Amino acid sequence: MRQFFKKTKGIRLGLVAVLVVSTFVIGMLSHPVIEQNDADRSWHVVWEGSLADYARAAEANPGDGASGILSVYIYPHDASPGTEYAENSSATLEAACLGYANANAMNIDVPHSTAFDIVVRVRGNKTHCWVSDQFYDSYLRVRITAADLSIGADTLATGVISYNNTGKDFIWMNHYLNAGGAGYSLIRDQTAEITHIKFEAYY
């Protein structure tokens, strides 16, 4: 009845921003405009590993405006995840979930025969998901591996916006897996392990 998160070495890759400079000529005047062509973007790993060893983690902020995973929630299965997981704060999710894991807590006790979803809360900064004058939530994604729950390697979670304010330098998102709408569950005395989580950004 206990869900464990295995300790593995986290991986952080250097982040490189690419800028394309173009020139617009208006009458006799020309000036450079800095923009990023979408064709120059590609998916990069911001963080990957297990919960036990991620370096950019905190319940509210990974630190220094960085992108990162905040927490993973085991949440009672919800029939309307696009609504349930939108506009939620960490405190709201913590109060309603069956259990959660972050840098300080890795094990979750889940009642057997109880349907649940896996929700990964992330923060994305402007470096990773900002274009011109707005955030693009589609430029952040989470992949999860958990063979004990029949979640194959790097299964893509569905993301919903939790907080998006163009006046800030970050957004919050909740990415969920819900077994195709059925929810996951454990049998009595079963131990399940989420072996790998990967947080990626398109920049």
Q: Where are the domains of the chain?
A: 2-202
Lowest mean pLDDT among 8-17, 143-152, 194-203: 8-17
pLDDT at 4 over 60: no
pLDDT for 199: 92
pLDDT for 60: 45
pLDDT in tens, 6-40: 333 332 333 333 323 322 223 333 444 444 556 67
| Residues with Cβ within 8 Å of residue 192, at least 6 apart in sequence | 3, 4, 146, 148, 149, 186
Identify the band that residue 80 occupies on the pLDDT scale cut at 50, 70 and 90.
very high
| Residues with Cβ within 8 Å of residue 6, at least 6 apart in sequence | 50, 52, 193, 195
pLDDT for 108: 83
pLDDT for 64: 63
Identify the band that residue 170 occupies on the pLDDT scale cut at 50, 70 and 90.
confident
Mean pLDDT for the chain overall:
78
Structure tokens at 106: 């890795």
What are the E-state strand segments in the chain?
Answer: 2-4, 20-26, 29-35, 43-49, 68-76, 99-101, 108-109, 116-125, 130-131, 134-135, 140-146, 151-156, 158-164, 170-177, 192-193, 196-202
Considering only residues 193 and 143, tell me which one the structure prediction assigns the higher pLDDT. Answer: 143
